[in-house]
Amino acid sequence: MKKILILGGTRDARIIARNLHRSGHDVTTSLAGVTQTPQQPDGKVRIGGFGGFGGARGLGAYLSEQAIDVLIDATHPFAAVISRNAEAAVHMTGVRHLRFERPAWEMQAGDTWIEVENVAAAARVLPQGSRVLVTIGRKEVAPFLKRSDLSGLIRSIEAPDEVLPPGWCVLLERPPFTVEDEIALLRDGGFSSLVSKNSGGDETAAKLVAARHLGVPIVMVRRPVKSGGERVTSVAELAVRLAIFP
């Protein structure tokens, strides 16, 4: 039985927590506390940043105090700061570090992707007067709202903080989404572009199929590079690695 800390906030993290909890490990999931009503993982849960001592040091102190054997970073591919902190914290403490990285989506025949490095660049490349479906979460929508020639819809789990200018509205929805619903949303909303992060995974991939079907171009934000730890790309691979190299 291992004492495991999972850095979570994703569906993958919940699946990992459930599997390891059922296997008899002592599992705690750490959530950032950014959503008001997070979905509860199995096992124990702690909420909020480790920032008392400045991120990495706070996490390092937690790993030592709680005598954690394994740290599993299963945060979202775009949560770059916490993953950097995890890398530094395990460096300080020597705790085993597994980094779960679900594969990125790849462009397929029939897709039109404009790949960009970050959200600000995504807002810059949109053609003048675009009507945009923005699916990048609630936190980084400001660059789109600042462009007075754009209009559209922000779909997120919780509402953005910004006051929306005329021509914009919010749709609060939690994945998974179906291809049929995504086609209806894109078509009926008259969107000329879709903006997405390259999050990977199945839960939100239906929008890619819908955009391909309707010929809607996607502005795709590339992932930040994460490094360190033992990289695993599936829940099954993680289980095997923990079983073979306990």
Min. distance of Cβ 6 from ligand NAP in angstroms?
8
β-bridge pairing 131-135 and 151-156:
parallel
Contact between 15 and 82 under an 8 Å Cβ cutoff? The reply is no
Question: Given strand 96-100, what is the order of strands in its sheet?
Answer: 44-47, 26-31, 3-7, 70-73, 96-100, 230-232
Distance separating alpha carbons of residues 73 and 52, to the nearest angstrom: 20
Minimum CB distance to ligand NAP smaller for 136 or for 183:
136
Site residues for ligand NAP, window 15-54 (CB under 6 A)?
Answer: 30-32, 34, 49-51
Question: To the nearest 10°, the Cα dihedral for 214, 216, 221, 222?
Answer: 60
The site string for ligand NAP over 165-204 (x = CB under 6 A, - otherwise) reads: --------------------------------x-------
Can residue 141 be called a binding residue for ligand NAP (CB under 6 A)? no
Rule CB under 6 A: say whether 90 interacts with ligand NAP: no
Q: Is residue 79 at the binding interface for ligand NAP, with CB under 6 A as the rule? A: yes
State yes or no: residue 9 binds ligand NAP (CB under 6 A): yes
Identified binder of ligand NAP from the candidate list 15, 45, 61, 80, rule CB under 6 A? 80
- The CB-of-67 to ligand NAP minimum distance in angstroms stands at 18
Q: Which stretch binds ligand NAP (CB under 6 A): 5-13, 61-69, 102-110, 144-152?
A: 5-13
Q: Which long-range contacts (CB under 8 A, 24 or more apart) does 50-58 make?
A: 50/85, 55/81, 55/82, 55/85, 55/88, 56/84, 56/85, 56/86, 56/88, 56/89, 56/92, 57/89, 57/92
Asked if residue 235 binds ligand NAP (CB under 6 A), the reply is no
- The piece of 80-88, 105-113, 144-152, 173-181 that touches ligand NAP (CB under 6 A) is 80-88
Contact residue for ligand NAP among 14, 76, 96, 97 (CB under 6 A): 76
| Gyration radius (Cα) of the chain, Å | 19
